[in-house]
Amino acid sequence: MIKNGKRVLFLGIMLVVAFTVWTALIQIIDVQPIGQNETDIGFASFNSCFHKLTGVNMTIYIITDWLGLVPVFVCMIFAGIGLVQLVARRSLLRVDCDIMFLGIYYAVVIFAYLIFERIPINYRPILIEGVMEASYPSSTTLLVLSVMPTLIFQVNRRVENVAVKKMIGILTSIFSAFMVMGRLISGVHWFTDIVGAILLSEGLFCIYKSVVLLYHKHEN
């Protein structure tokens, strides 16, 4: 368990480092004023080509935007579990450690989102309701890939029925893939926005998972 936890931690750190490098590269490689109001976009030639290839599909954008509430609902479920445990056990220290770590993890994801809203790296290829919005990393992709893996992880830890585990794992994976592809082809993000979100979300999730695995082994 410890060895596996350390491997997952190492992978998580490497993914976060890769995200950091990727973010830096976006600001120095092939930067051209191809964004809204001639804002600079990194990897401009590729991003522009891919955006022209996919075009803009507002229907897919709206669908994936509304489906972005699903991971929010998942967060609320786990928040509810933590609250029930807190009330029943009358102590924060008696709440399951993986649930407490999950709350901290979600807070970190929100903090990361707020940072990039305050310090935009890229703006969307198109205006949304006439407004320029930050697009890096893709917030919907970040939310989905940060939260939905925790659903699979928690179900595998807490549910004994193998069939239920497999069903939730498959459905969650299909949903996540649909959301990522939907944001990619909807035309409201640059390709590099999606890549950045994947690297950051998977990195943060691996770190969360490793902390739970290592803490659980330490307790035993």
Between CA 11 and CA 13 the distance in angstroms is 6
Report pLDDT for 92: 81
Q: What is the DSSP letter of 161?
A: -
Alpha helices in the chain (DSSP H): 2-26, 44-54, 58-67, 69-89, 97-118, 139-158, 162-186, 191-219
Q: What is the pLDDT of residue 1?
A: 52
- Enumerate residues 6+ apart whose C-beta is below 8 A from 148: 70, 71, 74, 172, 175, 176
Cα–Cα distance measured from residue 43 to residue 19, given in angstroms and rounded to the nearest whole number: 15
Asked if 202 and 1 count as a contact pair (C-beta separation under 8 A), the reply is no
Measure Cα distances from 71 to 46, 105, 150, 204, 220 in Å.
30, 14, 10, 16, 31
DSSP for 67-106, written as a single string = HTHHHHHHHHHHHHHHHHHHHHHS-GGGS-HHHHHHHHHH
Q: How far is CA 201 from the centre of its chain?
A: 4
pLDDT (0 to 100) of residue 91? 81
Q: In a 10 Å sphere around its CB, with 0-12 CB exposed, 13-18 middle and 19+ buried, how is residue 91 labelled?
A: exposed
Check residue 5 and give its pLDDT: 78
pLDDT tens digits, one per residue of 127-151:
787 788 889 999 999 999 999 999 9
**Token digits for 61?**
């954008």
At 219 the pLDDT is 54
Which residues, 6+ apart, have CB-to-CB distance to 145 below 8 Å?
Answer: 176, 180, 197, 198, 201, 202, 205
Residues of the chain with confidence (pLDDT) below 50 = none
Q: What is the structure's pLDDT at 2?
A: 53
